[in-house]
């Protein structure tokens, strides 16, 4: 894609996506988390170079953390998988956020 950088730097789209990960509707939030796992390999190179994406990543992590305490086993498992994938693909950028 020629417009990858333009599309990825549009944090409004990604911000709206983060909102779906914490949707009250189980199917919506699970679909968003599954989509996240799918798109992370494509997005990961941009998290270290786009400052605005670091803020989105912080919001995403907060959203996913809320699922770890969920009564729903599905939410917990999907959030855990998302964290594993974030750590795998984003790694260093992920750790630098909390220093």
Each domain of the chain, given as residue ranges in start order, spans: 4-96
Q: Which two tokens stand for residue 13?
A: 């789209």
44 in Cβ contact with 88 (< 8 Å): no
Specify the pLDDT at position 13.
78
Binned at pLDDT 50, 70 and 90, residue 51 comes out as confident
pLDDT in tens, 2-33: 555 555 556 777 888 889 998 989 999 999 99
Torsion angle, CA of 30/61/76/34, rounded to 10 degrees? Answer: 30
pTM: 0.78
Torsion angle, CA of 52/87/96/99, rounded to 10 degrees? Answer: 120
Specify the pLDDT at position 42.
84
> Distance (Å, rounded) from C-alpha 15 to C-alpha 41?
18
Residue 15 CA to its chain's centroid (Å): 10
Given a cut of 80, whether residue 35 has pLDDT beyond it is: yes
Binned at pLDDT 50, 70 and 90, residue 99 comes out as low
Residue with tokens 């750590």: 87
């Amino acid at each position: 894609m020629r417009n990858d950088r333009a599309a990825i730097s549009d944090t409004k789209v990604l911000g709206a996506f983060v909102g779906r990960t914490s949707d009250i509707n189980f199917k919506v939030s699970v679909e968003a988390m599954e989509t996240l796992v799918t798109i992370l390999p494509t997005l990961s190179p941009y998290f270290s170079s786009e400052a605005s994406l670091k803020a989105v990543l912080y919001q995403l992590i907060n959203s996913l953390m809320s699922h770890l305490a969920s009564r729903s086993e599905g939410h917990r498992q999907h959030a855990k998988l998302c964290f594993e994938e974030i750590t795998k693909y984003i790694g260093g950028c992920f750790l630098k956020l909390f220093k």
